[in-house]
A and B are shown apart, each in its own frame.
Chain A
Amino acid sequence: ETGVTQTPRHLVMGMTNKKSLKCEQHLGHNAMYWYKQSAKKPLELMFVYNFKEQTENNSVPSRFSPECPNSSHLFLHLHTLQPEDSALYLCASSQVNLAGGSDTQYFGPGTRLTVL
C-alpha cells in the first residue's frame, strides 16, 4: 500500500448506528487531518493531529470523535449521526515543520457516508 488509504470507501448507516472510519498513511508524515466535503460547500477541516496531538477541532459536534493511536493511523468514530452529516469524508497527511507550516498535503480517496 502506498500513499493514504481509507476504509470503507462507502458507508450507509442509520441514525442510531455506531461506525468508524479508518485512515492510514504510508508516507512517514507527522500530521494527519480529517475533512468533510458536502455538496456546494468548500472542503471543511474537522480535526488536525500534529505529532499525534490534536491541535484543531473546528467546532465539530461531539457525535464525531477522532482517535490517533500513532502517527500512521487516524480514526473517526461516528455515533447518532444526522442525515445532514451525509458527505464525503477525506483524510490527509503531511510533514509539519517544527517551526510551523507544512509541506504538501496528500489525500486519501475518501469515504462516501450516507446517513438514513
Chain B
Amino acid sequence: KQEVTQIPAALSVPEGENLVLNCSFTDSAIYNLQWFRQDPGKGLTSLLLIQSSQREQTSGRLNASLDKSSGRSTLYIAASQPGDSATYLCAATQGGSEKLVFGKGTKLTVNP
C-alpha cells in the first residue's frame, strides 16, 4: 500500500529565498506523481505532474524532480514571494491506477 510522507511539515523563509520541499513514497511502481497547492479553506490547484518515465518538470519558478528508485520527489521554488505562501501537497498514484495517495503537506510561509 502506497504511503506518502512530506518533510518539513512547516517552513518559514524570507522573501527571495530559494527553497526545496521534500516528498517520499514507499511504492515505486507509480503511474505519476503530482504536486498541488492549497490556500486556506480552498480546493487544490495542480502545479506539476511528473510521469513515471520522467525525471523532472518545470513551470515558471517551480521545478519538480522524481527519483523512483529512491522513492523521492522534490519541489524547488526559486526566488520565493509572499504570494507563494500556502500548503504544498505531494500525491503519488496507488500503483498504476488513477487513485492518488496524498502526504500531509508542507505549510510554507514567505515573509516580506
**Contact of A94 with B by CB under 8 A:** yes
How many cross-chain pairs have Cβ atoms below 8 Å apart between A and B? 64
The answer on a CB contact under 8 Å between A90 and B44 is yes
CA distance A95 to B8 in the complex (A): 31
The answer on a CB contact under 8 Å between A45 and B43 is no
Contact of B43 among A42, A94, A104, A108 (CB under 8 A): A108
Interface size on B, as a range, is 20 to 34
Interface size on A, as a range, is 20 to 34
Which residues of chain B come closer than 8 Å to A92, judged between CB atoms? 44
The answer on a CB contact under 8 Å between B44 and A104 is no
Contact of A105 among B4, B42, B46, B97 (CB under 8 A): B46
Contact of A43 among B42, B89, B97 (CB under 8 A): B89
Which residues of chain A come closer than 8 Å to B80, judged between CB atoms? none
**Do A110 and B43 contact each other (CB < 8 Å), given the known contacts A42-B4, A101-B98?**
yes
**Do A45 and B99 contact each other (CB < 8 Å), given the known contacts A101-B31, A107-B43?**
yes
The answer on a CB contact under 8 Å between A107 and B44 is yes
CA distance A115 to B93 in the complex (A): 31
For residue A65, give the distance in angstroms from its CB to the closest CB of chain B. 20
**Contact of A100 with B by CB under 8 A:** yes
Interface string of A64-102 (1 = CB under 8 A from B): 000000000000000000000000101010101000111
Which residues of chain A come closer than 8 Å to B45, judged between CB atoms? 107
Contact of A102 among B31, B101, B102, B103 (CB under 8 A): B31
Interface residues of B in 41-64 (CB under 8 A from A): 41-46, 49
> Which residue of chain B has the shortest Cβ distance to A105 in the bound complex?
B100
12 examples of A-B residue contacts, CB within 8 angstroms: A42-B102, A43-B89, A43-B102, A48-B98, A88-B41, A100-B31, A101-B31, A104-B34, A105-B34, A107-B44, A107-B45, A112-B41
A residues sitting closer than 8 Å to B (CB atoms) are 4, 6, 31, 40-43, 45, 48, 50, 56, 88, 90, 92, 94, 96, 100-110, 112
